[in-house]
């Protein structure tokens, strides 16, 4: 998981969200507000102006994704759903809040996260209270101090550590966390999304690691090419959509073009957290450090 770059929502869509939220907020008791929130959400593209507003919202959220329309939680599947970080079943006041939206895949949204959530109770403490929105009457959350990492506002890599150096590719709490509250938040987030218990994800992270390794090696080879022929030999090995080396152009220019194509391949691959952790943990693993040292220095900024 990575933090999303902040982005303002389209102003017309923002006005629509405010109007819908005002409707929810004025709907009586907590249970009534939850019911109203669910009803309006289910009809969000059917109410006046809703279809256009949510088309813009989805486009803005898509532009914010950590990869190409990729789920911001698992980084593995196509992001199909507008997900409420704070679930509307416990936080109806956030049903139409822009900062509470993130694109996620159906599996993360409905199978793992669903309506489950936890807060710190009391607020600002280290004690987690799991909410049980299926209880009736529906319980009012004691606080809104989230025990789940909110990637719209917080940097998940501050809390989490993906084990690249050890090769297990599972998440744990960041080893340098000292506060019990922050450790609890990391652990709860991993547990809620089952980020370390889904074999398909750990396997896919391993494959992503090998992909990034190979691209770094390609970059090094492109950087070190002494002739157009050497560079052409590398390009022939790469993906078929790489343009051929133009022998009429300066070698340096062609090297840069190939390196930028490799950069795009890295930046559009799934599991970007693996890439970020490779950069962060490179000094713990001599091989990773060497791949980066041999690649152009700018790779550390990708
Ligand atoms: Zn997902």
Q: Which of 234, 203, 210, 208 is nearest to 221 (CA)?
A: 234
User: What is the average pLDDT across 33-39?
Assistant: 96
Q: Which of the four pLDDT bands, split at 50, 70 and 90, describes residue 243?
A: confident
Least confident of 25-34, 129-138, 157-166, 285-294: 129-138
CA 227 to ligand 1 centroid distance, Å? 44
CA 286 to ligand 1 centroid distance, Å? 32
Q: Which of 167, 120, 108, 109 is nearest to 148 (CA)?
A: 120
Question: In the predicted model, is pLDDT for residue 64 greater than 90?
Answer: yes
Confidence (pLDDT) at 136: 73
Distance, C-alpha 205 to centroid of its chain: 14
Using a CB cutoff of 5 Å, list residues around ligand 1, an ion: 71, 73-74, 77, 105, 108
User: What is the average pLDDT across 146-154?
Assistant: 97
Give percent of the chain with pLDDT exceeding 70: 98
CA 206 to ligand 1 centroid distance, Å? 17
Confidence (pLDDT) at 240: 65
Half-sphere exposure of 226 (CA within 13 A, CB side): 0
Q: Which of 217, 301, 221, 293 is nearest to 267 (CA)?
A: 301
Q: Which of the four pLDDT bands, split at 50, 70 and 90, describes residue 133?
A: low
CA 18 to ligand 1 centroid distance, Å? 28
Confidence (pLDDT) at 135: 73
d(CA 155, CA 176): 15
Q: How many CB atoms lie within 10 A of CB 92?
A: 26
User: What is the average pLDDT across 222-250?
Assistant: 88
Question: In the predicted model, is pLDDT for residue 242 greater than 80?
Answer: no
For the chain, counts of helices (H) and of strands (E): 11, 6
Confidence (pLDDT) at 134: 73
User: What is the average pLDDT across 96-120?
Assistant: 95
Give percent of the chain with pLDDT exceeding 90: 94
Listing DSSP states for 32-84 in one string gives HHHHHHHHHHHTTTTSTTHHHHHHHHHHHHHHHSSSSSB-TTTSSSB--EEEE
Question: In the predicted model, is pLDDT for residue 195 greater than 90?
Answer: yes
User: What is the average pLDDT across 24-35?
Assistant: 95
Instruction: Please identify which residue in the block is written with the tokens 């997900």.
Output: 83
Q: Which of 281, 6, 16 is nearest to 153 (CA)?
A: 6
Confidence (pLDDT) at 290: 97
Q: Which of the four pLDDT bands, split at 50, 70 and 90, describes residue 241?
A: low
Tokens standing for residue 208: 């992503």
Confidence (pLDDT) at 137: 72
User: What is the average pLDDT across 284-293?
Assistant: 97
Question: In the predicted model, is pLDDT for residue 145 greater than 80?
Answer: yes
Q: Which of the four pLDDT bands, split at 50, 70 and 90, describes residue 284?
A: very high
CA 146 to ligand 1 centroid distance, Å? 20
User: What is the average pLDDT across 29-50?
Assistant: 96
Confidence (pLDDT) at 39: 97
* Chain mean pLDDT for the chain: 95
CA 195 to ligand 1 centroid distance, Å? 9
Cα→Cα distances 129→52, 82, 112, 148, 172, Å: 38, 25, 18, 11, 20
Q: Which of 79, 119, 129, 77 is nearest to 101 (CA)?
A: 79
Least confident of 141-150, 207-216, 234-243: 234-243
Distance, C-alpha 270 to centroid of its chain: 10
Question: In the predicted model, is pLDDT for residue 138 greater than 90?
Answer: no
User: What is the average pLDDT across 278-287?
Assistant: 96
CA 75 to ligand 1 centroid distance, Å? 6
């Amino acid at each position: 998981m990575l933090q999303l770059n902040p982005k303002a929502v389209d102003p017309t869509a923002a006005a629509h969200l405010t109007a819908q939220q005002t409707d929810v907020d004025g709907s009586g008791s907590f249970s009534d507000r939850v019911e109203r929130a669910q009803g309006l959400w289910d009809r969000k593209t059917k109410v006046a102006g809703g279809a256009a507003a949510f088309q813009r919202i989805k486009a803005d959220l898509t532009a914010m994704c950590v990869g190409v329309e990729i789920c911001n939680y698992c980084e593995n599947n196509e992001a199909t759903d507008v997900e409420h970080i704070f679930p509307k079943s416990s936080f109806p006041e956030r049903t139409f809040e822009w900062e509470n939206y993130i694109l996620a895949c159906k599996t993360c949204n409905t199978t793992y996260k669903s309506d489950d959530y936890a807060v710190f109770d009391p607020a600002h403490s280290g004690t987690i209270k799991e909410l049980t929105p299926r209880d009736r009457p529906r319980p009012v959350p004691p606080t809104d101090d989230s025990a789940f990492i909110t990637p719209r506002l917080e940097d998940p890599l501050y809390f989490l550590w993906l084990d690249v150096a050890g090769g297990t590719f599972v998440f744990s709490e960041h080893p340098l966390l000292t506060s019990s509250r922050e450790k609890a938040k990391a652990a709860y987030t991993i547990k809620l999304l089952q980020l370390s218990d889904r074999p398909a994800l750990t396997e896919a992270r391993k494959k992503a690691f090998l992909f990034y390794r190979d691209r770094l090696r390609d970059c090094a080879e492109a950087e070190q090419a002494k002739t157009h022929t050497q560079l052409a030999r590398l390009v022939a090995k790469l993906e078929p959509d790489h343009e051929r080396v133009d022998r009429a152009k300066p070698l340096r220019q062609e090297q840069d073009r190939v390196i930028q194509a490799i950069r795009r391949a890295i930046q559009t691959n799934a599991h970007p957290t693996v890439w970020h952790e490779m950069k962060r943990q490179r000094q713990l693993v001599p091989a990773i450090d060497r791949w980066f040292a041999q690649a152009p220095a700018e790779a550390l900024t990708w």
